[in-house]
Amino acid sequence: MKKPHSSPSHVLIRISAQPDTDSVHDVVAAHRAVIKARGYVWFGMWKLRIAADRLERLKHQCEENTPTYLYLVQRSSNGFNVYRGIVTEVSTALPSNSRESVPKYYLDRKMLSEMGSWLKLSDFQTATNAEFERLHVPTTDSVVPDLLKRSQVAFALVSASKN
C-alpha cells in the first residue's frame, strides 16, 4: 500500500493545440519576459481552480521550499512540447498590486477575472523528455504521456517517479 503524499505534487496544465489558441511557446515567452523584468510572474490558471485540499498541499510544499513545478504541455507533431516552471507560491486570487506581474495579454484580453487559481513562478524552462516520461497521476497511477495521448484532460496534479 502506498503512503499518501510520498512525493511532492506538481501542477500539469495542457494547452489546447487548436488553431485559435496560443502556442505553448508564446505563452511561455510572455511569462519569461515578466520573469526577466520582475524576477517572477503570476501564472493564471484560466477557468481552472485547484481544490482546497490540493491547494493547501501545494502551499505547504512552497512554504517548506519543497521543489514544486508547473508543467505546461501542448501536443505537437512529434509528441509533446513541455515546459517546467518553478512554483514559489499558490493562491486563489491575484495578490493586490500584482497586475504588473502578469503578462500583458492577460490585461489586453480581460482574462484576470477568468483565472481560478494563480501560481507564482520564478523560472520557466523546457522540460526534458526523461523528466516528462517520469510524471504520473498518483490517484490513478497513469503515466502522464500515455494519459495525454488517450484523453483530453486539461489539468492534473502529478508526481515524478523516482526511477
Whether 1 is covered by a domain: the verdict is no
What is the reported pLDDT for 3?
41
- Residue 47, helix vs strand vs coil: coil
**Which residues sit opposite 46 in a β-bridge?**
115
What pTM did the predictor assign? 0.90
Whether 37 is covered by a domain: the verdict is yes
Domain residues for the domain of 118 are 10-160
Whether 2 is covered by a domain: the verdict is no
Whether 5 is covered by a domain: the verdict is no
pLDDT in tens, 118-161: 999 999 999 999 999 999 999 888 999 999 998 888 899 999 98
Number of domains into which the chain is organized:
1
Q: Are 117 and 95 in contact (CB under 8 A)?
A: no
Mean of all residue pLDDT scores within the chain: 90
Whether 4 is covered by a domain: the verdict is no
**Which residues sit opposite 123 in a β-bridge?**
86
What is the reported pLDDT for 144?
94
